[in-house]
Amino acid sequence: MENPVIVAIDGPSGTGKSSTSKAVAAKLGLSYLDTGAQYCAITWWMLNNGIDVDDPVAVADSAGKPSIVSGSDPANPTITVDGVDASAPIRTQEVTAAVSAVSAVPEVRTRMVELQRAAAAAAPAGIVVEGRDIGTTVFPAATVKIFLTASAEARAARRSGELKGALSVADTQAALVKRDAADSGRTTSPLAMAADAVEVDTTDLTLEQVIECIVTLVEEKRAPR
């Protein structure tokens, strides 16, 4: 394909980005990238190596040290840090609580954006990329931009289920609200909907309905004019 497709799927936690993005990529025969996992991976590395994640200078100084490699198969997405499979440990509550502070550091975002653009360049047919600043910062010229939303209650219930009851729904909702504020309020690449993005509220939609909506939008863009 002369012009590889880039599908940018942004939105806060608990809106269904991962399940949706993987399924859309599989249906369209595209590669897949979870940028949130990359930020969690570098946060996990910082915590494991004794870096004070609340010290932006220390985080910036270490941003280029770990080797982070993301697999692009939507059926089996992987992520390694310095050659170690980090798929499970990056999903702990400790990492989740620290990732906003780490991801707010400009040097970290610069490093991650480089990795994300390299992943897209290596995807010959195109790629579905999920995150929080994909349509606004990483790929402002993406083929299709989607911004997923959902009610706070629905998001908390979903995320609590993902965490397998590690936090109550109420505590999960409080944590999500706190992270939303941090992600939306940071100076560098804040969480925001691109002006040309399509907003999809997933609160009352099934996963299949959300997937079909996005697949249709992409196929319309790909259709010969």
CATH of the domain at 202: 3.40.50.300
Q: Map tokens 């809106």 to a residue.
A: 15
Q: Let me know: does 58 contact 20? Beta carbons within 8 Å.
A: no
Over its C-alpha atoms, the chain yields an Rg (Å, rounded) of 17
Q: Is the pLDDT of residue 166 over 80?
A: no
Q: What is the mean pLDDT of residues 3-12?
A: 92
Residue 225 lies in a domain: no
Q: Is the pLDDT of residue 189 over 80?
A: no
- The rounded mean pLDDT for the chain is 91
Q: What is the mean pLDDT of residues 17-33?
A: 97
Q: In this prediction, what percent of the chain has a pLDDT beyond 70?
A: 95
Residue 224 lies in a domain: no
Domains in the chain, number: 1
Tell me the residue range of the domain where 119 lies. Answer: 5-219
pLDDT at 223: 75
> What tokens were used for 112?
């991650």
Q: What is the DSSP letter of 54?
A: T
* 221 vs 72, residue with greater confidence: 72
Q: What is the pTM of this model?
A: 0.88
Residue 83 lies in a domain: yes
Element at 198 (helix H, strand E): strand 198-201
Q: What is the DSSP letter of 137?
A: I
**How many of the other CB atoms lie within 10 Å of CB of 10?**
28
